[in-house]
Chain A
Amino acid sequence: MKNQSGNPSVPTGRVLNIQRYCSHDGPGIRTTVFLKGCSLRCKWCGNPESIAPKPELSYDPKKCTGRKCGLCLKSPFPEGVFYFVEGDDEHVKVNWQLSRDIDEALTSLCPAGALEMFGKLMTVDDVLDEVEKDASFYRNTGGGMTISGGEVMLQPDFAAALLKGAHERGFNTAIETACNAPWANLEKVLPHVDTMLHDHKLTDPERHKKWVGVTNERILANFKKAYEMFPNTDFIARTPLIPGVNADEEHIRAVLAFIRPHKNVIDYELLPYHRFGLGKYEYLGKVYELDDYKTPSDDLVKRLQAIIDEAFGRK
């Protein structure tokens, strides 16, 4: 297997987080493995720490003990990355422009835990051993392991090895993907997937590019090919529902027209836009571009959900 870490002896991947006791990313109780690195730039992204492929610095000012510590202003920390501003603010500031050389060895020196790295390299066995801890829940609930992102398809060899290993240990497998990757990547991963949750973000290619970063032609082609080439896989379509962007009947009906001819697309879920990820933009020194957008109303979600229910014959 190709090794994405550059080390030929141990299969490793870039993992952001492993989250136990999840109940929304496939059947039963699940453990979700978040990979790092994404090929899209959705303006509403709630997981900005998953975008960059490499590990990156995170700084939580609320944990910083401030001037009485000041350790990060001294060697071995590079000069100019951390600083104080005159005045009442006791917290360290980060010059994000100069912070790119900060690594885990340095962040581990922060006694308050205000500095951390998002993402680390893990082996397949490391991940599966963590997933294994909840094996009894999977057996009792039909659950298993879900790989999310970032984008799963950017680490196809690692993801395939993880999913294959999960199957060998008897776990159900699922992935969450936007499928913006070459088909060759999907071909490696999909044979080991029981359920594929996938996003239909916008219908119009140009609007897709404006809000997500690229047009959607290849994404839709990959979806269609996946439905056809993997008839025994369950597919669940999803739409992150953002008022003013895609929370309209036209988009929902377009997605339904796309998926309904394929019987292995077993459901279509709406994910109402939320703003829970905003705090993480602060931790990364990034600017959230969708700051004036609101969460959809319950009425709107119900109305659009009714269209989906009708299409799936649930009414």
Chain B
Amino acid sequence: MATELGHAGSLRRIAVNVGAGYVPGINAVVMGAALAAGRMGWEVVGIRDGFEGLLHPERYPDGGLVTLNPQLIENLDPAASGILGQSARIDPFQVRTINKDNQVEEVDMSDDLLKKLKAEKIDGLISIVGGQGLSILYQLHRKGLNAVCIPRSIENDIAATMVSFGFNSALTVSIEMLDKARQAAQSARKIAVVEVLGEQAGWLALQAGIAVCADAVLIPEIPCDLKMVAARLKEKISSRRPYGLVVVAQGVKIINKSQKEESKSSLKPSLSPLATGEASEHVIQQSGQAAQTVAMELQLLIAEETYPLVIGPWVRGGTPTAVDRQLGIAYGVAAVKALRNGQYGTVVAFVPPEIKCVPLAEAINKVRTVPVESEFIQIARSLGICLGREV
């Protein structure tokens, strides 16, 4: 964990911002960074809504920057929603604007951003971002920005760290919701197929599924055969236990799917050059599509009634868990320490038992997926949870 920072010799002004994709407890990270920096006599400002507050300060009556002074931080609720807001897009290389001819265009404003940071005398940035944000900050770092990132991911799919900020809160909510889904399924005497977030990595589905002892857990890393899932459900369902619970990650891949969604469009073909048809289902992620597909496919294979439920975006709200509050504060402190040590172009990472700095160049282009030989897979198998394929 981060050690006592002490006092830096030179006064600095640093900024904190938040990338796209909200998770509970962002304030904890902001508090950790602001308090640690404040103790060294640094001034800390928050940039509103990603980089918006800096690029378009005219949109903010109270200014695009928030001074994170001790009075404000001491009164900040670490469990409340983020004080800095966030932007749907954080990419300064592709900023959507309307030009003087009233035309929409995407403009590279990265140079503007760096100039504005300099004009504000900000010489270091702590950015709370997900996987895509790491690549953006990597590019900005290569252009000279002194950046340190804090990994934030619901899916826990950032490979550099054992735990991303936000995952534990999402896991906790998912478990609560799965418990309720199972009770509802028990009451209705049906099989609930519940979708949780996890486009590339199945950690959320697998760990939550283990926690509630689901009948089956289907994750992107293990393409699943639903005939095997149906067979397992038939074994487990009886007159004394007339219900089931299947947990499905959003990015589940299905082997030998029987149905293909037909488009009933009356598209005029020439309107669509290079028309390709519907996207492959694992890339264009419609919330609920995975649960619906699995529920429909299973329905064809078993007698009991199946129905889809979606937890999906519910995990992005609410109160952060104790783990995330601690982790957020620790990451905030560690990021300040990295700036003090000149470890620019890095992401702080929990590599037990320490928090380390991993170069962004090593952190990007990697996804922390569930290894088929992982301990969690072994635990699931020991519990008799069907994973859709023998592994």
Contact = CB atoms under 8 A, between A and B. Distances in A.
Contact of B273 (A17, A279, A291): A17
A270 to B, nearest CB: 10
Contacts of B91: 97
B354 interface: no
Interface stretch (A85-93, A132-140, A162-170): A85-93
A46 B279 CA distance: 12
Given A52-B106, A218-B102, A279-B278, A87 B369 contact: yes
A295 B265 contact: yes
Contact of A180 (B102, B264, B267): B102
A2 interface: no
A292 B272 contact: no
B102 A274 contact: no
A146 B371 CA distance: 53
A48 to B, nearest CB: 10
Contact of B271 (A46, A53, A214): A46
24 contacts: A19-B270, A23-B270, A24-B268, A30-B270, A53-B105, A62-B280, A85-B200, A85-B366, A85-B369, A86-B371, A88-B221, A95-B364, A95-B365, A97-B136, A148-B270, A213-B104, A215-B102, A218-B102, A274-B267, A276-B265, A280-B274, A281-B279, A283-B276, A295-B264
A272 B266 contact: yes
What size tier do the contact residues of chain A reach?
35 or more
A262 interface: no
Interface in A47-103: 47, 49-50, 52-53, 61-62, 80, 83, 85-88, 93, 95, 97-98, 100
B103 interface: yes
Interface stretch (A6-14, A33-41, A123-131, A307-315): A33-41
Contacts of B132: 97
Contact of B105 (A39, A83, A146, A276): A39
Contacts of A16: 273-274
Contacts of B101: 39, 181-182
Contact of A100 (B93, B266, B280): B93
Given A24-B270, A276-B263, A276-B276, A39 B223 contact: no
Contacts, number: 153
Interface in A147-194: 148, 154, 180-182
Nearest to B365: A83
Contacts of A295: 263-265
Interface in B269-311: 269-280, 283-287
B369 A292 contact: no
Contacts of A230: none
Contacts of A301: 266
Given A25-B270, A180-B103, A215-B102, 13 more contacts: A19-B273, A39-B101, A49-B273, A53-B105, A97-B138, A274-B265, A276-B263, A277-B272, A279-B275, A279-B277, A279-B280, A282-B283, A292-B286
